[in-house]
Chain A
């Protein structure tokens, strides 16, 4: 299994990365940037599809919430209605999941390649020999020049610049795609992804080789650009924060305001009609299903 992974995924990425380093004047930093851009371009259709699916799913959220309220007690019905809604909107609910899963091995290969290509320790340099093609350009580039701008690519960036860049770009990217949540549980999950992940990656940047951090930063920037052009703007980055739900009164529960009798009977009548319509629609649907 490891051999298949190495031959099919890791080694092509690794050798292209080293080859790029050679043709880019021995700059491994530039090679990381170029390869990250190229891989993003190749994966662009998948990423665009993922972005669109996510956006479409988010636009349906108010309707889904309505349905959830409406059929809170009838789970089966809720499921049917939601499926219908997705079908009508032309959305596959798993559409945003598969592109992400397909991209994952490529990102891991790129990540692994950067680590291996750096040959930061004697063991990893020696191990690198077993993964290289016999291309002259590859041999001439080894061992890679780890100097790029102010960075030593095999060492963590001692300044905060790269950490801020990685954390900041990741935060912007997360913010662009994450809708402001109204539900407190959902809000805490959203906060976790939009705040904790950039923070964690920012901290990792302080201890991981800066070559990797460079790759994270470039990936994030490309992600932001794709998000901007596919979604047509800054997305939820500029969206106003959701109104916080007012805390429930702690002591006295006030009786509901009295409703005029005429209005009350009008509402009851409306509810009855709605109920009849739903029942009728449901029966028609049943007929349709069994009549086929």
Chain B
């Protein structure tokens, strides 16, 4: 018994240490960021940001022949760290200057691939020459036609939403609450518009008007000159990026609603309630809005009235936006199943099991579906047959 007491006395002394360790373990498990970039397809190449913080250029012909990476004209580029203490965890469990992550889908502008960078509290846009044969680490130089915005060591807010390019202008919203209009030849600031709230969603552009939402419950319409046309406040913040139709703008909110707002005035037309957030960007085709929800369902809603047309229950939350191919709607559940649905009825035509998390937007090109998964792989599937055409796993490149 005496030894028991002695042991307990030691144990008592160990308790503070145990508490610290538990808190550290719990703390470090939380705030990690990896990214979920989608694809930009251009002239037989697929450009995407990897979960490893690198930008990849895949030659689709080489991939379909399962050639060793990098094959002809393929490359990988490591986005430099934003270099500013932007970690949410710090030296206790992560480096003070974390590596850059890529949530935004790259945008191809002629010979440049523009990538929005997330570095915790900071970010930037990096424009890479897509024709360059290969890269090593380092900030691209302007002399090669490449640029970063802001230039040099300066940074702006982190980029999560995919930028949108219209003509020679790139619109990007950042976590510092600004909507930036960047001139794409030299990466110069044309204007910036402060929204007063963190922006983690993509802008939508229609008829030279930029629509953007922030995490301060507001949706804005901003002219191509950077002037506010209207702003509207919703009961809660907007979770999804906006989708625009001929006369409405559709946004999903954190109070489990999908709102339709008047495109000209921003006034609410209707709202539709689900059981969780509409995180994924809705898809508008004709009179129907297709919206994936984190309540595991896909909803088809009448764009004019807000009436539900059909719903389809998947086996997991839907974080990636639905896409349309012919008469099909394709959605991915977060746990790694792809569903091909009849767009008119919502009946499942086929499903594809991947088994790895899918949060990145899907891309369809002709009859091929490209999927970027959480196990650091890219898959190409034949939409008609559901057969896997090829896969490329880049974890070996780390």
Contact = CB atoms under 8 A, between A and B. Distances in A.
Given A122-B103, A126-B359, A197-B16, A207 B96 contact: yes
A85 to B, nearest CB: 12
Contact of B2 (A78, A124, A125, A126): A78
Contact of B256 (A96, A104, A139, A209): A139
Given A123-B34, A126-B279, A142-B236, A97 B11 contact: yes
Nearest to A154: B88
Nearest to A201: B20
B35 to A, nearest CB: 8
Contact of A207 (B15, B30, B34, B89): B89
Nearest to A144: B215
Contact of B26 (A82, A96, A97, A112): A112
B271 interface: no
A97 B90 CA distance: 32
A240 to B, nearest CB: 23
A204 B31 contact: no
A203 B85 CA distance: 15
Contacts of B30: 112, 115-116, 124
B92 A204 contact: yes
B258 interface: no
B200 A122 contact: yes
Contacts of B121: 155
Interface string B255-280: 11000000000000000000111010
A206 B96 CA distance: 11
B1 A79 contact: yes
A96 B5 CA distance: 13
A87 to B, nearest CB: 13
Contact of B23 (A76, A78, A111, A189): A111
A130 interface: yes
Interface in B155-183: 160
Interface string B229-242: 00000011100000
B109 interface: no
B63 to A, nearest CB: 28
Contacts of B8: 93-94, 97
Contacts of A121: 31-33, 88, 120
Given A122-B33, A143-B237, A197 B13 contact: no
A100 interface: yes
Interface residues of A, number: 49
A125 B23 CA distance: 20
A208 interface: yes
A209 B88 contact: yes
Interface residues of B, number: 53
A210 B90 CA distance: 12
Given A120-B31, A122-B200, A96 B12 contact: yes
A209 B88 CA distance: 6
Contacts of A231: none
Nearest to B9: A93
B15 A100 contact: yes
A130 B293 CA distance: 12
A96 B235 CA distance: 48
Given A78-B2, A124-B31, A209-B88, A142 B237 contact: yes
Interface in B63-116: 85, 87-92, 96, 103
Given A97-B8, A208-B89, A79 B2 contact: yes
A107 interface: yes
Contacts of B279: 126, 129
B2 A209 contact: no
A114 to B, nearest CB: 9
A89 interface: no
B22 interface: yes
A100 B22 CA distance: 14
A53 to B, nearest CB: 11
B255 A136 contact: yes
A174 to B, nearest CB: 9
Contacts of A123: 32-34
A156 interface: yes
Given A82-B2, A139-B256, A207 B20 contact: no
B254 interface: yes
B130 to A, nearest CB: 26
Contact of B20 (A79, A124, A200, A209): A200
Residue in B33, B89, B121 with the greatest tally of chain A CB atoms within 10 Å:
B89
B358 interface: no
Interface in A162-211: 189, 193, 197, 200-201, 203-204, 206-209
A129 B92 contact: no
A108 B22 CA distance: 7
A197 B20 CA distance: 9
A73 interface: no
Interface string A58-100: 0000000000000000011011001100000000011011001
B87 to A, nearest CB: 7
A14 to B, nearest CB: 12
Contact of A212 (B27, B91, B118, B294): B27
B5 A82 contact: yes
A122 B36 CA distance: 10
Given A126-B359, A143-B215, A120 B27 contact: no
A83 B5 CA distance: 10
A264 interface: no
B13 A129 contact: no
A263 B15 CA distance: 50
Interface in B196-248: 198, 200, 215, 235-237
6 tightest Cβ-Cβ pairs between the two chains A and B: A207-B90, A139-B255, A115-B30, A79-B2, A121-B33, A142-B254
24 contacts: A96-B12, A97-B12, A104-B19, A111-B26, A112-B26, A112-B30, A115-B31, A116-B30, A118-B31, A120-B31, A122-B160, A122-B200, A124-B30, A126-B279, A134-B256, A142-B236, A143-B215, A143-B254, A156-B90, A193-B16, A207-B87, A208-B89, A208-B92, A209-B31
